[in-house]
Structure 1
């Protein structure tokens, strides 16, 4: 059972980190459209809108910000892009929006750090 306990602990940590990220984004004026969005081959932690900007946000929680930033791999970036494509294909109302791929880093005893436009298309 140690593997199951570790997965449960990681899942709970991820939920806490996402909640912290959502509150940070809300405080910065973002409207949260979706959490844990998964459609087709893609998945993204948070989708948020502010004005005419649509952000697909990956949330990473690690022991420090450096480790968290390094945890956003090219493979994950591709998964987020696929989710964005799927989201936009089914929601034409967002066709004219500026799309960004953001990252929110979460570390213990620190305020979350929002990195707008962390990686491109």
Structure 2
């Protein structure tokens, strides 16, 4: 702590690192849950100029664009993916889809996996409808 009781300059870095580690663990748990449901993980942390997709999972011609949220409740996880986040994810999905050779036959779905304390991840399929 610096004088005056405010946290030192490294405190924010430590909090951010802890937050990112928790997010990565949540994404790993979500990916395993999806694999056990028969999905193949195509990409994790897929970054584009428009934003990032946490997980891209595929089962046959169905592609699930998955946002992972670690929250205390399912409602909090669902609320954390608001309209602006949905638009960002949809834009990133557009870019990913445009690079797929078989894009014409693929069905896209937007899902949320909620990673909750002391519970198996909750997979919410079709959490919102994209522009398609």
Tell me the TM-score normalised to structure 1 length. Answer: 0.95
2:81 to 35, 47, 72: 72
Match of 1:44 in 2: 53
Distance 1:111 1:54 in 2: 22
Does residue 1:7 correspond to 2:28, yes or no?
A: no
Does residue 1:91 correspond to 2:100, yes or no?
A: yes
Q: Give 1:115 deviation, angstroms.
A: 0.5
Q: Give 1:13 deviation, angstroms.
A: 0.5
2:120 to 111, 116, 120: 111
Count matched residues: 121
SS at match of 1:92: coil
The structure whose Rg is larger is 2
8 Å contact kept, 1:42–1:86: no
**Of the two structures, which has the highest relative contact order with CA contacts closer than 8 Å and spacing of 6 or more?**
1
Distance 1:18 1:73 in 2: 19
8 Å contact kept, 1:42–1:81: no
2:38 to 15, 26, 29: 29
Q: Show structure 1 runs of 5+ residues with no match.
A: none
Distance 1:5 1:65 in 2: 27
Distance 1:78 1:31 in 2: 24
When the two chains are superposed, the root-mean-square deviation of aligned CA atoms in Å is: 0.9
